[in-house]
Amino acid sequence: MIRQVPTKNTTTTAVIRSSAFVKGFAEVKKGKPLNYDAYPYDSNKQWDYERGRQFALCFNGTLKIGAKVSHTAALMLGIELHRKSII
């Protein structure tokens, strides 16, 4: 049986800042298939990668403006999480 890892609250901007989230988002935008072997030893990064891929299918805007997370991206990620479009 897989043991549940400890969870903690976070923000949408913190999730979008994750390199794994950005990588998943960018791969979908480039038309790349799911990399099943991405982040094999870090389940948090696996989840961020998958969330980035899912968000790319719901959001057609820019994730970041320079180094800062786009307010629109943060707002839309929150909305899609609330709608349960993203796990």
Instruction: Judge whether 24 lies within some domain.
Output: yes
Q: So what's the pLDDT on residue 76?
A: 97
- Where do we find the tokens 């980035």? 52
53 assigned to some structural domain: yes
**Domain span holding position 39:** 12-83
Question: E strands of 9-74, at which residues?
Answer: 64-65, 68-69
Mean pLDDT value of segment 43-70: 95
User: What pLDDT is attached to residue 75?
Assistant: 97
Residue 69 maps to a domain = yes
Query: What is the pLDDT confidence band of residue 7, given thresholds at 50, 70 and 90?
Result: confident
Give the separation between CA 80 and CA 73, rounded to whole angstroms: 10
Contact 48, 26 (CB under 8 A): no
In this prediction, residues 28-55 reach a mean pLDDT of 94
Give the angle subtended at the CA of 11 by the CAs of 3 and 39, to the nearest 5°: 45
Q: What is the DSSP letter of 32?
A: P
The per-residue pLDDT for 4 is: 75
Q: Is residue 33 part of a domain?
A: yes
Q: How confident is the model at residue 6 (pLDDT cuts 50, 70, 90)?
A: confident
- Residue with tokens 């403006």, as numbered in its chain: 65
Domain total of the chain: 1
